[in-house]
Amino acid sequence: MRAVIYSLIVDLSKTYKSCNIRGVYPPKLNLSEKQTNEELFNELKKMINFMKYPQYSYIMKNKEKY
């Protein structure tokens, strides 16, 4: 399960790498394999939130873990 979530995060980060058009910035994801399950879920949640509401990505751009 952990490996599947990790591969999903990596694939999503590659897909949204070059979409910073008109102020839409994809989140910076931690792609380390040595994360806990909770950290993996947080990274996945960041990407899901970006996919739901890309117009709000500029708000989160300057946050510490984003």
Q: What is the DSSP letter of 65?
A: T
Task: Determine the pLDDT at residue 29.
Answer: 85
- Give me the residue spans of the domains in the chain: 2-60
Looking at per-residue pLDDT, the higher value among 65 and 1 belongs to 1
pLDDT at 47: 87
Give CA 32 to chain center in angstroms. Answer: 13
pTM: 0.72
Residue 4: how many CB atoms within 10 A of its CB? Answer: 8
Q: Which of the four pLDDT bands, split at 50, 70 and 90, describes residue 62?
A: low
> How do residues 3-61 score in pLDDT, each as one tens digit?
888 898 888 888 876 555 666 777 888 888 899 999 999 889 888 888 888 777 766 65
Distance in Å from the first CA to the final CA of the chain: 24
* CA pair distance 14, 63, nearest whole angstrom: 21
